[in-house]
Chain A
């Protein structure tokens, strides 16, 4: 069977391509000519140069593909306007769906996000039945909500089967552009005070997200959304795990909503004044004080199983060290856990 993957150079796409290859699929990847496709160079995949915003480059891209996995997205909390984010999320998704429908693909799997299911200010677990009602959503979150809406509308119009996958906070390897999810680990370790936040998140391994996509494609019901998540944890617990895996201190104090917001606002504003990319934004700070806890029960009934959060973080931490996303001064003060060391050795072995 053949599968098309868009956004193959991102963390989800990279892991998905590898999972599909492991499962015996022939994989075609849509890659922008300007993209750095180093990560895919050694993989036995068919490269299709194109851009999801340029529908002419998508003609024939899904030919002979049973499944189309649309993982291309702009995952960023700064540096892009709402219009730019919406264009990629909405227009880009419509274009890919149109191409898939013209190629008579069996099904398209769109990568969305659990943020479209909303969040809570209390530790409440949400699932696919919940609707989005957040008061001050980030531009990225809005773009994902609009993407889903556009996807369902387009598939209904074109008669294409659609399954939407909503991953949690995805951490792990093969993240060549440092996604905000993995960056949250970097930010925590870069913080000399190792503060933590009052909210919680659902941490999931990028490998599991990839596996979840395949489960959703093969066994999911058309027109459904599936949460592909891991463990629901308080940020304090996530940070404690990171510290334990890194063999370092922390977390120290749990900031409250106000101080977290002020820290995020200060970082964002000062970066904007200096003309730099902020390490953290107000949106991220606000989100860190909410609970993004979700249940993966629906996809679990189809055969999906998440790996423990600690293992996912160990792999992510090894990746961040391996790719030098953490500065030397931070790495020098870490004493990584055995699990992190094992992942590091494996990564260095692959690199060698």
Chain B
């Protein structure tokens, strides 16, 4: 038993495990023991607000797909907490949730609808219930609340391995947050509007190898409480027997905010008995599946065990696929074959996604979605000195490349500590002043080749109101692009930047301070616009880059083959420079040059499928329907082979009064004659069909012609 010291300090985290206890009494006990009331009063007094005007937001877990076995936070516990608050004079209590707007593949998933189904009281007597993205948005209510209570459920999760307090915060994010951005959203919430108190409802927990996809009830009789969401999760994960870094969302927050101290734990950290976790292979494959654009978001519908009566499916193929896959998910815990099948399915979907992504990256960049990624670095970590030192820091490296001769054409390349140093310049036949008025030096990185998104934050301005210091997150396609075929990641880097504005020169300096996906170790550099002696503008670019290599290239140690490596690197940089020069020219001319497409902010629906994804989903649905109706693979084979002409035609023997079935002998030659006769019939029928084939092709030609005519008409062109 670990207990906190008794110097009147409340424990940093409190764990209560009371087999046979009642949930209400356990809640009351843990609130007292964890210093919940004291913490709340402390916040209220600091803000000098009376109890009746002190607003409290409670965020329960409402990820409920089966009302008979609701896997969210126990509604009775939330209501009891609200009653206790009310009894103490707190009048403004709101229960909030927005999470379910993401589940648009089902009907009745509006946040208030789920809350209503689960049984929350909408009378407003004790608390209000709000949710959704509209006027009274959950995110706004949450951030505006004077005291925020995060009331999570104790459960495993298919892709995140476990879903506790940090994961529950996703329920206050607007629905237009992309799946890949969830971690940084949680981090943002923990920084900007963290919960004042966190509770984990583990009275009835939900474990299982499929996580939330097929939750299994577990009577854990445990409640966990802490003012620190990360600490509560670390303890919750420990009790599941898990590394708290296994959840990518939690890992991102832990890496950014640091591991909380385990000092002052009140309660047992022993593992729940008979607890079953999600296999890391399942979680990894599910994450890869989720990352597939379009198909990843939609595939949630196929894997989730759903109470169809309350939450009918919107799409027929989701319904069909779900009826085939969800039962497999439910069997993962006790049937390894089901688990491997799911891993295989996840991997297949992920492979399809990789294939589509590679095709788009290499041949159709316009099909790639531009990405909005928030800056995750803590900008307070960087002082003015970090920004102002950038020119000096970069000059050190630039001199290495500038002193040598030109490698090829207008570019110079050198290697230093495995990083590529690159310098090049280009003179535009455009007047300097005109150029800098249209091409913003502060956005120089966004003009670069294969820039696919990111975000930019101004940190400081000069006396003229111009940006002097800024931080930027940049995402570029894999360099060279064909690295995508070897599993190369998008280059995702976060930089601090300094801007200098002179009479005849503007420069942006940058240094990479983080790479959220570890795709780059260095990506530093500068871009300058310089007034040339003839009055035109000369653009100079220097970079120091060291990108992580895909596993394949790490394996073959490409560094040991400098001839191949240098050739690849030189080609990549030449392409990069030529296209960057062209992009800046396009920016000056006012032409569109950015790759990818922008999805409207109000239309981010990850469940919506593109054409290819829709075809794949339809094909999968057809296959699953076939398997479902034919009961087994053998049945499918039999069906295809049309067993009517291969089966035994003898009548099935009927049991006699003693229950025996009597099989008579087959007359000699009968079976042979029968088979021979059937073969003759078959040959005759095949001949008829073949004789009719000209008619079939004539009809087909006519049908194709009508489609072509319709296509030409739709496109306003000629049919031929």
Contact = CB atoms under 8 A, between A and B. Distances in A.
Interface in B664-696: 681-682, 685-686, 688-689, 695-696
A-B pairs, top 4 by smallest CB distance, nearest first, are A261-B703, A257-B703, A192-B625, A249-B316
A193 B618 contact: yes
- Which size bracket describes the interface of B in this complex? 20 to 34
A274 interface: yes
Nearest to B644: A274
Interface stretch (B139-147, B285-293, B704-712): B704-712
Contacts of A269: 689, 696
B259 interface: no
A64 interface: no
B681 A261 contact: no
A272 to B, nearest CB: 5
Contact of A256 (B688, B689, B707): B707
Contacts of A265: 696, 699-700
B608 to A, nearest CB: 16
A194 B696 contact: no
Contact of A192 (B629, B642, B688, B689): B629
11 contacts: A193-B625, A249-B313, A249-B316, A252-B317, A262-B703, A265-B700, A269-B689, A272-B689, A274-B642, A275-B685, A282-B695
Nearest to B681: A275
B625 A273 contact: no
Nearest to A194: B316
A8 interface: no
A286 B645 contact: no
A275 B644 contact: yes
B206 to A, nearest CB: 30
Given A258-B707, A269-B689, A274-B642, A250 B316 contact: yes
B164 to A, nearest CB: 37
Contact of B706 (A257, A272, A282): A257
B50 interface: no
A276 interface: yes
A252 to B, nearest CB: 5
A276 B682 CA distance: 12
Given A192-B629, A253-B618, A136 B702 contact: yes
Contacts of B645: 274-275
Contacts of B521: none
A182 interface: no
Nearest to A276: B644
B622 interface: yes
Interface in A320-348: 329
Interface of A: 121, 135-136, 192-194, 198, 249-250, 252-253, 256-258, 260-262, 265, 269-270, 272-276, 282, 286, 289, 329
Interface in B297-341: 313, 316-317, 319-320
Contacts of B31: none
Given A257-B707, A261-B703, A273 B686 contact: yes
A192 B706 contact: no
Contacts of A329: 629
B621 interface: yes
B504 to A, nearest CB: 62
Contacts of A289: 703, 706
A282 B642 contact: no
Contacts of A193: 316, 618, 621-622, 625
Contacts of B313: 249
Contacts of A273: 642, 682, 685-686, 689
Contacts of B316: 193-194, 249-250, 252
B622 A192 contact: yes
Nearest to B693: A269
A194 B685 CA distance: 30
Q: Which of A198, A258, A262, A329 has the most CB of B within 10 A?
A: A258
Contacts of B626: 192
Nearest to A248: B316
A21 to B, nearest CB: 43
B620 to A, nearest CB: 12
A257 B387 CA distance: 64
Nearest to B319: A249
A235 to B, nearest CB: 15
Nearest to B317: A252
Contacts of B710: 198, 256-257
Nearest to A270: B642
Nearest to B684: A275
A270 B640 CA distance: 10
A257 B704 contact: yes
Q: Which of A135, A257, A262, A269 has the most CB of B within 10 A?
A: A257
Contacts of A257: 703-704, 706-707, 710
Given A257-B710, A289-B706, 15 more contacts: A136-B698, A136-B702, A193-B622, A249-B313, A250-B316, A258-B703, A260-B703, A265-B699, A270-B642, A273-B686, A273-B689, A274-B642, A275-B644, A275-B645, A276-B644
A275 B686 CA distance: 10
Contact of A286 (B685, B689, B703): B703
Nearest to A256: B707
Nearest to A282: B699
Nearest to B682: A273
Contact of A272 (B629, B644, B685, B700): B685
A270 B642 CA distance: 9
Contacts of A198: 710
Contacts of A261: 699-700, 702-703
Contacts of B702: 135-136, 261, 286
B706 to A, nearest CB: 4
A194 to B, nearest CB: 6
B334 to A, nearest CB: 28
A275 B681 CA distance: 8
Nearest to A121: B706
A275 B684 CA distance: 10
Contacts of B618: 193, 252-253
Given A249-B316, A250-B316, A272-B689, A286 B699 contact: yes
A258 B689 contact: no
B626 to A, nearest CB: 8
Contacts of B689: 269, 272-273
Interface in B603-656: 618, 621-622, 625-626, 629, 642, 644-645
Contact of A258 (B319, B621, B644, B700): B700
A329 B707 CA distance: 35
Nearest to A264: B699
B285 to A, nearest CB: 28
Q: Which of B642, B702, B703 has the most CB of A within 10 A?
A: B703
Interface string B185-228: 00000000000000000000000000000000000000000000
Nearest to A253: B618
Q: Which of B319, B644, B702 has the most CB of A within 10 A?
A: B702
Nearest to B706: A257
A272 B687 CA distance: 10
Contacts of B707: 256-258
Contacts of A136: 698-699, 702
Contacts of B688: 272
Contacts of B700: 258, 261-262, 265
Nearest to A290: B706
Contacts of A252: 316-317, 618
B173 to A, nearest CB: 31
Q: Which of B319, B642, B699, B702 has the most CB of A within 10 A?
A: B699
Contacts of A250: 316
Nearest to B695: A282
Contacts of B622: 192-193
A256 B319 CA distance: 24
A261 to B, nearest CB: 4
A198 B709 CA distance: 14
Contacts of B621: 193
Q: Which of A121, A194, A260, A265 has the most CB of B within 10 A?
A: A265
A121 B706 CA distance: 8
